């Protein structure tokens, strides 16, 4: 009997694997088509200075609306794009599109608005990233110092010399670096000092509970203290309530982003935000 059930579970296991492989293959084909058919969009979410309540930046977030109108979240397709290498053309498309929009805001708006773009580790390894960024900045006319590239902690702990070199090249152009989802990985600021990083984004999982849960608030406070001693800017991610905003302000967190200030939105809506000043009580 034990033998039988072992056989069965082995069979189920292969069936599951087949299905997973099939789904991945299908998604890969759909992603290729999405690129050709222009099914991707870039949305922009405001980033706010907590002292002045002014919008100082926007994060570009990719959106995929399939042919049938359904939305596929980045958490589902970005990993597949990374595994298949499709993140290279997709990432390039996002960067070009986002920089084009941001360059327009610089011309229209009296206050400068920086642009944050997410990068995958894959883009550092398989592409001459500094040349690409340089090319796109020239093409779009976006000043380099208005561009922030968001990377993850895992890219920095790999201790890959070429990553550091690429980052230095880009920093010399004027581009800034932000460590995204800070607190979820290695959470050590010591290695961050070895790279040209100006900003860390505290992961939304800490912000979500910081009002109710004292230990989450203590962690946020500790991160802010470390960041301040290293002269790093801090952006709190996932701020949804006024209570969270007030707590972060009282802890002297500089910047915030989240549904409370604005959801990710199409470029036209972002540009139309009233005087680019929101959240004023």
Q: How far is the CB of 19 from Mg ion (least distance, A)?
A: 27
Of the candidates 245, 201, 209, 249, the one whose C-alpha atom is nearest the C-alpha of residue 227 is 201
Applying the rule CB under 6 A, the residues between 200 and 219 that interact with ligand C2E are 204
- Asked if residue 259 binds ligand C2E (CB under 6 A), the reply is yes
State the binding partner of 74 from Mg ion, ligand C2E, none, CB within 5 to 8 A by kind: ligand C2E
Q: How far is the CB of 128 from ligand C2E (least distance, A)?
A: 17
Applying the rule CB under 6 A, the residues between 142 and 181 that interact with ligand C2E are 150, 180-181
Binding mask 217-256 for Mg ion (x = CB under 5 A): --------------------x-------------------
Q: How far is the CB of 2 from ligand C2E (least distance, A)?
A: 44
Name the residue with the smallest CB distance to ligand C2E. 258
CA-to-CA dists, residue 136 to 35, 94, 278, angstroms:
18, 11, 30
Task: Determine which residue in the list 30, 47, 120, 127 makes contact with ligand C2E, applying CB under 6 A.
Answer: 120
Query: Between 6 and 74, whose beta carbon lies closer to Mg ion?
Result: 74
Q: Is 142 exposed, middle or buried (0-12, 13-18, 19+ CB in 10 A)?
A: buried
Contact 280, 53 (CB under 8 A): yes
Query: Between 101 and 181, whose beta carbon lies closer to Mg ion?
Result: 181
- Cβ-based neighbour number of residue 195 at 10 Å: 16
- Asked if residue 181 binds Mg ion (CB under 5 A), the reply is yes
Contact 203, 237 (CB under 8 A): yes
- Asked if residue 240 binds ligand C2E (CB under 6 A), the reply is yes
Of the candidates 98, 109, 104, 185, the one whose C-alpha atom is nearest the C-alpha of residue 133 is 98
User: Encoding tokens for residue 29?
Assistant: 């084909």
Binding mask 117-146 for Mg ion (x = CB under 5 A): -x----------------------------
State the binding partner of 61 from Mg ion, ligand C2E, none, CB within 5 to 8 A by kind: ligand C2E
Of the candidates 195, 185, 257, 194, the one whose C-alpha atom is nearest the C-alpha of residue 223 is 185
CA-to-CA dists, residue 75 to 71, 117, 235, angstroms:
12, 16, 21
Q: How far is the CB of 243 from ligand C2E (least distance, A)?
A: 13
Which stretch in 9-17, 21-29, 72-80, 217-225 sits in contact with ligand C2E by CB under 6 A? 72-80
Query: ∠226-228-230 over CA atoms, to 5°?
Result: 75
Q: Is 201 exposed, middle or buried (0-12, 13-18, 19+ CB in 10 A)?
A: buried
Task: Determine which residue in the list 57, 183, 254, 258 makes contact with ligand C2E, applying CB under 6 A.
Answer: 258
Task: Determine which residue in the list 117, 167, 180, 223 makes contact with Mg ion, applying CB under 5 A.
Answer: 180
CA-to-CA dists, residue 52 to 86, 109, 168, 229, 254, angstroms:
40, 17, 31, 23, 10
> Given the rule CB under 6 A, which residues bind ligand C2E?
45, 61-62, 73-75, 78, 91, 94, 118-120, 150, 180-181, 204, 238-240, 258-259, 264
> Given the rule CB under 5 A, which residues bind Mg ion?
118, 150, 180-181, 237
């Amino acid at each position: 009997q034990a033998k039988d059930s072992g056989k069965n579970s082995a069979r189920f296991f292969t069936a599951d694997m087949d299905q997973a492989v099939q789904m991945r293959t299908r998604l890969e084909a759909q992603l290729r088509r999405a690129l050709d058919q222009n099914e991707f969009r870039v949305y922009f979410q405001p980033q706010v200075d907590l002292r002045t309540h002014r919008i100082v930046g926007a994060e570009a977030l990719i959106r995929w609306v399939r042919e049938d109108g359904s939305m596929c979240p980045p958490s589902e397709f970005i990993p597949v794009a990374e595994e298949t290498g499709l993140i290279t053309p997709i990432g390039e498309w996002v960067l070009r599109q986002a920089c084009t929009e941001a360059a327009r805001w610089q011309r229209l708006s009296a206050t400068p608005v920086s642009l944050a773009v997410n990068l995958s580790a894959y883009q550092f390894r398989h592409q001459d990233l500094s040349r690409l960024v340089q090319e796109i900045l020239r093409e779009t006319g976006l000043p380099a110092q208005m561009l922030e590239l968001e990377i993850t902690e895992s890219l920095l702990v790999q201790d890959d010399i070429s990553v550091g070199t690429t980052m230095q090249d880009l920093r010399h152009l004027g581009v800034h670096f932000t460590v995204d989802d800070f607190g979820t990985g290695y959470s050590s600021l010591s290695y961050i000092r070895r790279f040209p990083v100006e900003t860390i984004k505290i992961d939304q999982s800490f912000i979500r509970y910081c009002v109710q849960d004292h230990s989450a608030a203590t962690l946020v406070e500790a991160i802010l203290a470390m960041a301040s001693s290293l002269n790093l800017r801090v952006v709190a991610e996932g701020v949804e309530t006024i209570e969270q905003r007030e707590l972060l302000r009282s802890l002297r967190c500089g910047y915030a982003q989240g549904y409370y200030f604005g959801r990710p939105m199409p470029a036209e809506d972002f540009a139309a935000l009233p005087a680019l000043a929101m959240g004023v009580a």
